[in-house]
Amino acid sequence: MNRANWFQVSQEGAKALGALHHYATTGTGLEPGLIHLVFLRTSQLNGCAHCIDVHTRDLIKHGMSVDKIVLVPVWEEAAYLFSDGERAALAWTEEVTRVSETHASDAAYAAALAAFGEQALVELTIVIAAMNAINRMGISFRLKPRAKA
């Protein structure tokens, strides 16, 4: 079944989500590589093929090794590959993306706050929220990955 091209159908809505994405990628004090790592993990948790494709490519452009990228889904088992900040961001990403299950627990919040401080934690949460919103659009309207057969 073909689904609506949400960019065309709701140009103002697409523009609004684009502005949120733009802020997430350029308006925070977070490192671009960390932002794309969070985007990738959020997209993996949500199952957004298009976004997984895009953010894997973005991480490669930012210099992350393929060896490290392929282990993002099991980052806790491969913790030695990830910095303290990356591990804290990945843990908070999972907590926020699965908020219906976790309710953003006090323990997870305290750990993330200790790692990032208040300002960066709010910005990180905006980054996570932005990608969750975009994933929901991409999945709902079956946005295709760039990958070729």
Q: What is the C-alpha separation between 91 and 85, in angstroms, rounded?
A: 10
CA 144 to chain CA centroid, nearest Å: 18
Q: What integer is the mean pLDDT of 95-124?
A: 98
How buried is 141 (Cβ within 10 angstroms: 0-12 exposed, 13-18 middle, 19+ buried)? Answer: middle
CB half-sphere exposure, 127, CA atoms < 13 A = 30
What is the amino acid identity at position 113?
L
Q: Look at residue 148 and tell me whether its pLDDT is greater than 90.
A: no
Please write the tens of the pLDDT for every residue from 19-55: 999 999 999 999 999 999 999 999 999 999 999 999 9
What is the amino acid identity at position 37?
L
